[in-house]
Structure 1
């Protein structure tokens, strides 16, 4: 899918691509969303640039993600997607600054892009160019990551209260699942922030941004925000690790208590078992076999031999 933002329009438009299609001269943003190879070739021909493919965008080397070619700056970052799902992920997004025009290539639908596109539909930025739009999108992306980390921090705090609450209302399996999801979300957010930090640092030295004092100041603010969010993501990761260790420790304590209880009762029942085994051998010359009080005596001995160890364990505080 291809969308265009033109200075003369009030919002994004989806042009009809034909063999002789050309980019309108007043276009400031070309947004390629999961483009087909035919769409990529048409845009490449129209703008005179070789755009990175999906495989190129997936490369992790910095030289493959941030570079200049044919007078244009190519910058790729990993953006957090599906943060509300059980398995959050990362999608590579490429920003291409070519003169006053911005080209974005993405194989995903980050919420930040949806929010920014909706904002553009309601209030198009006056006299905007590609660099201004890119900084606006990056600002929306960083705000979205901040919201995700804030929500994850609230979830971790809720799990912490659940773990150390007595008695607990939820089982440990649900607690560990929540911690695992929080850890995965925080890790993906931190990975996204690291890639955004490289992109924003490079964007700050591009000619389109460096010559605009207002954009340069916004880039510096974004760098500070990204750094603080990266530190916060690291703190959340450490907190989740502590809570996971605490949950596993409490599981071990509960298991040890159960095993301890069984051990106590096993030891307590050993004397009655011994007495019952002796009187169950039925030897002919056993004096108690013909005695009227022999059976009650055996039962009494078994009861006393069971109660005395339990009373002793209780006094020692072993159960």
Structure 2
């Protein structure tokens, strides 16, 4: 089922377009979620122009995502979405503005759309351009919330990295940072795409003739630009935290290797003494000497103590 909003209505209407479906004259927004090809054809017949299919939405080059045909404005933006497996992804969403009606085509649940549909009937939305502007506001607001949540996660990750007890497991932190990096990158791409869409929307006939709409779009562009810079800062911070975590891992690994290296050096001289006096040649004077065994033990002890004292003076042990 899809949603339809009429001018001045207090609620959305769910509808399933079929053969001969008529477009209500007071329609201001049609929200198509995962439409079938038959439903797309029914909508196209009612509107009088073709809609892009899912494959066309995904294959459009960035330079071809915004165009106008016969007075109809087509705009496709890549918005941040969450798949059923909770993995964030970039999802193409198409906005079509024609004769005062906005048509949106999407194939994933978007939290921004859900929030907007809950509050849209309580707003004075009397045209497609008005719906578009409020919807873009909701998308920007949602992306701002995501970046704020990401800020909190990065603060927690930073504290966990630099206040972590020695020997703790870094793997959950690295997983969190990798996920945060993916979200920040996708959010930044969405904001860039949204800013370009807002810039192109000013060329739409209904908007180009309305100074208030153009001013509203300029505000959306400025907000998207500011959030884009913030997302870039977050990406840099995530990179720093990843480098810091990997650096601390290397320091701990080097500490472990250092301990083994020091112990190997300490036991090497006693091993040499023991090897010499373990050869048992007949012409070794110490073999028949009464103090040969204590002397060998003393040499091994002395050979072990000398490296220990030297390492301590150097601060290595």
Same topology, TM > 0.5: yes
| Distance apart, 1:297 and its partner CA | 2.6
Deviations 1:85-106 (A, max 9, x none): 7631011111111111110001
Give 2:135's aligned residue: 137
- Contact 2:17 2:43 (8 Å CA) reproduced: no
Deviations 1:223-243 (A, max 9, x none): 110010011111111111222
Bigger Cα displacement from structure 2, 46-55 vs 257-266:
257-266
Give 1:81's aligned residue: 81
**TM-score, normalization by structure 1:** 0.93
Structure 1 portions without partners, runs of 5+: none
Counterpart Cα distance in 2 of 1:12 and 1:210: 28
SS at match of 1:58: helix
- Contact 2:74 2:96 (8 Å CA) reproduced: yes
Give 2:200's aligned residue: 202
| Distance apart, 1:130 and its partner CA | 0.5
Give 1:192's aligned residue: 190
| Distance apart, 1:169 and its partner CA | 7.6
CA RMSD of aligned residues (A): 2.0
* Alpha-carbon spacing, 1:60–1:45, altered in 2? closer, same or farther (3 Å): closer
Give 1:6's aligned residue: 6
Give 1:31's aligned residue: 31
Bigger Cα displacement from structure 2, 163-172 vs 173-182:
163-172
Given candidates 266, 274, 280, the residue that maps to 2:272 is 274
Matches within 5 A, 1:1-319: 1-7=1-7, 9-82=9-82, 87-121=87-121, 123=122, 125-126=123-124, 128-165=126-163, 167=165, 170-319=168-317
Counterpart Cα distance in 2 of 1:51 and 1:242: 44
- Contact 2:125 2:131 (8 Å CA) reproduced: no
SS at match of 2:31: strand
| Distance apart, 1:205 and its partner CA | 2.7
**TM-score, normalization by structure 2:** 0.93
Structure 2 portions without partners, runs of 5+: none
Counterpart Cα distance in 2 of 1:222 and 1:247: 37
Counterpart Cα distance in 1 of 2:83 and 2:212: 32
- Contact 2:97 2:129 (8 Å CA) reproduced: yes
SS at match of 2:92: strand
